[in-house]
Chains A and B, each alone.
Chain A
Amino acid sequence: MSARLSSSVETVIAARKAAGSGALVGYLPVGFPDLKTSIDAAVALVENGVDIIELGLPYSDPVMDGPVIQRATQTALADGFKLGHGFEAVAAITARVDAPVLVMTYWNPVLQYGVDRFADDLLAAGGAGLITPDLVADEASEWLAASDRTGLDRVFLAAPSSTDARLRQAVERSRGFVYAVSTMGITGARADVDQAARSLVARLRDAGSTSACVGVGISTGDQVREVLGYADGAIVGSALVSALADGGVPAVARAAAALAAGTVA
């Protein structure tokens, strides 16, 4: 199996920046409301202006997630989600649209699947890499090795409470982008995206980051525009999951288009 030579995620982000804007990253969980619809919904995101897909693997104990995403992923688990469906979904989405697909997963499923085996199967399915909300770089030696071997992206998180030294580590160890957590909290749409996000991105710049995306709390096109004023990408999750839950693929397509309006320079 050949390794990736460069990060498609970084390439996409750089192209959007060169065009005077930034990237829109859209999160949806696999298997909600069912496997096929989750694939169709991810495809619809890309067709409506989302640049990078963050595909969540449902997990029994999602401590970083708020009620909207918890409800969706619990439904997927109750309906029989298996890890294999995650690879199936990545392959199906990348076969239909030309956008990088990052998988967002808590660490234990990867550990149980086998870190190397997971990396190989993700690469084979056409996945771009992993976002790991409960794996800090300090604990990630196996994943650092597997991602170096395969060339997969690895997105670590940076928080307003992180020290400068930890931000430097997140920047050095991440590939694709650094996930800047906008606020001290869990996922969920919020009326204001924190001022904390702006200063966190500034600190990440000081730490050498050229690819920092802001997530947690973003739910409108105006917020996307505001975030892209200082960051390289805006990540939206709960707002899309709510739309999918309430109105299916047509609704999530409309929500994506409305968010993407914020990426037009």
Chain B
Amino acid sequence: MALRDELGPYFGEYGGRFVPESLIAALDELDAAYTAAKTDPVFQAELAELHATYTGRPSIVTEVPRFAEHAGGARIILKREDLNHTGSHKINNVLGQALLAKRLGKTRLIAETGAGQHGVASATAAALFGMECVVYMGEVDTERQALNVARMRLLGAEVIPVTNGSRTLKDAINEALRDWVANVGDTHYLLGTVAGPHPFPVMVRDFHKIIGEEARRQVLDLTGRLPDAVTACVGGGSNAMGIFHAFLDDPDVALYGYEAAGEGHLTERHAATITRGRPGVLHGARSYMLQDEDGQTIESHSISAGLDYPGVGPEHAWLNDIGRASYLPITDDEAMQALRLLSRTEGIIPAIESAHALAGTIKLGKELGPEAIILVNLSGRGDKDMETAGKYFDILDTAALAAEDEAPL
């Protein structure tokens, strides 16, 4: 069977449904609706129309030669998911699921969010479809992504800061699951990544696989051949699965997922789930996760709220184990330097999440050399990260800004 044809609920030994019985009926209902929608031309046309007239698909690709000079001279091509409406890839999945929720007669959308990009996309879809929207966001993240909190509220969503546990994405998912258990009758849980119980990993992947399908054609048109490598950052793994999927059965295309290594994957402050974790059950699925010997989840750390998650989608766990994709750690500082480099060499400010993919690509480009073509998923734009970046580079006041301008790259 082609790798592209995997449909879950299991990918190898990963995936499944480890949830309270109260949610099984809703997952079955969702699975049935999704299975029907996949082959329903009306649904597919509705989604395609939204992507063409609202999201802004197809997203373009941009070759970045000035950036590539710092990456061994390889040809580097960015898939510009940052140009989508709402500023990241997250909208692809959100519009798909919101359409399904409408079909199921649900009137209320709930979502978890880390960086706020998925929350913003969910609030956007709720506004577009006239639905109620509640977004759970860890308190730590509401502070470091305050701009996105304001965006969600402006769009009419209620943002609930989660104060339990690590007060980040993991705990926002717990709270959203609790809400769903209690309100499953009228509520759809719009999970924002390729994790969670079946059918979420496969469904979210399918809503994002358009990224790789478009990009594969675009790279062929631009260069006349397939890329040597495709790279993406991995939090839960949705933008990575989205761009990997079309290439899974192209054996000469290497796939690289870059995990957040925080202060270093050998320190205790990182979010490098596949690099440092081991298989377990978290948030409804079996996959790699960061945990202690008792199976208690260990809190993750990353400068990037969207990658600050101690789990990862089950399909990635499987692709890692069968050797089809490689997952490597990128530190906070490597990501921030890459963020600044792309900004200065190409005039594109990436999200800190996406900057992890760029940092990995710099290393990879140096290994592969100038003959190589590397396709990078630029999953989001950096507007939301200006405060973090401003503090990181100490450029928030004008004096510092001027000094920075003198500094060499």
Name which residue of chain A comes closest to B184, CB basis: A184
The interface size of chain B toward A, counting residues with CB under 8 Å, comes to: 33
Interface check A2, CB cutoff 8 A: no
| The 7 A-B residue pairs with the shortest CB-CB distance in the complex, in nearest-first order | A112-B295, A185-B182, A161-B25, A159-B22, A109-B295, A108-B295, A157-B21
In terms of DSSP, what is the predominant structure of the interface of chain B? mixed
Name which residue of chain A comes closest to B284, CB basis: A134
Interface check B296, CB cutoff 8 A: yes
What is the CB-to-nearest-CB distance from A217 to chain B, in angstroms, rounded to a whole number? 11
Interface string of B161-197 (1 = CB under 8 A from A): 0001100001100100110011111000000000000
Interface string of A95-112 (1 = CB under 8 A from B): 000000000000111111
What is the CB-to-nearest-CB distance from B281 to chain A, in angstroms, rounded to a whole number? 4
> Which residues from A are CB-within-8-Å of B178?
63-64, 66, 186
**Interchain CA distance A181-B171 in the complex, whole Å:** 23
What is the CB-to-nearest-CB distance from B314 to chain A, in angstroms, rounded to a whole number? 13
Q: Are A61 and B280 closer than 8 Å at their CB atoms?
A: no
**Interchain CA distance A157-B24 in the complex, whole Å:** 11
**Interchain CA distance A108-B295 in the complex, whole Å:** 6
Interface check A146, CB cutoff 8 A: no
**Interchain CA distance A136-B25 in the complex, whole Å:** 12
Segment at the interface with B among A19-27, A29-37, A162-170 = A162-170
> Which residues from B are CB-within-8-Å of A158?
21
**Interchain CA distance A74-B17 in the complex, whole Å:** 25
> Which residues from A are CB-within-8-Å of B22?
157, 159-161, 181, 184-185
Interface check B320, CB cutoff 8 A: no
Task: Name the interface residues of B9-49: CB closer than 8 Å to any CB of A.
Answer: 16-22, 24-26
What is the CB-to-nearest-CB distance from A59 to chain B, in angstroms, rounded to a whole number? 7
Interface check B145, CB cutoff 8 A: no
Interface check B305, CB cutoff 8 A: no
Interface check A82, CB cutoff 8 A: yes
Interface check B5, CB cutoff 8 A: no
In this complex, the member of A60, A133, A157, A163 whose beta carbon has the largest number of chain B beta carbons within 10 angstroms is A60
Given A107-B281, A134-B281, 7 new contacts (CB under 8 A): A61-B170, A61-B283, A63-B181, A70-B164, A136-B21, A159-B20, A184-B184
What is the CB-to-nearest-CB distance from A16 to chain B, in angstroms, rounded to a whole number? 25
Q: Are B165 and A74 closer than 8 Å at their CB atoms?
A: yes
Q: Are B297 and A61 closer than 8 Å at their CB atoms?
A: yes
**Interchain CA distance A110-B281 in the complex, whole Å:** 10
In this complex, the member of B178, B291, B297 whose beta carbon has the largest number of chain A beta carbons within 10 angstroms is B178
Interface check B303, CB cutoff 8 A: no
**Interchain CA distance A113-B291 in the complex, whole Å:** 12
> Which residues from A are CB-within-8-Å of B177?
63
Interface string of B78-105 (1 = CB under 8 A from A): 0000000000000000000000000000
Interface check B397, CB cutoff 8 A: no
Of the A-B pairs whose beta carbons lie under 8 Å apart in the complex, a sample of 14, sorted by A's number, is A60-B165, A63-B177, A63-B283, A64-B181, A83-B295, A111-B295, A136-B17, A157-B22, A159-B20, A166-B25, A170-B21, A181-B22, A184-B184, A186-B178
Contact check: which of B170, B185, B296 meets A59 at CB < 8 Å?
B296
Interface check A177, CB cutoff 8 A: no
Interface string of A106-122 (1 = CB under 8 A from B): 01111111000000000
**Interchain CA distance A63-B294 in the complex, whole Å:** 18
What is the CB-to-nearest-CB distance from B69 to chain A, in angstroms, rounded to a whole number? 45
Interface check A77, CB cutoff 8 A: yes
Q: Are A77 and B296 closer than 8 Å at their CB atoms?
A: yes
Q: Are A186 and B181 closer than 8 Å at their CB atoms?
A: yes
Q: Are B20 and A63 closer than 8 Å at their CB atoms?
A: yes
Interface check B293, CB cutoff 8 A: yes
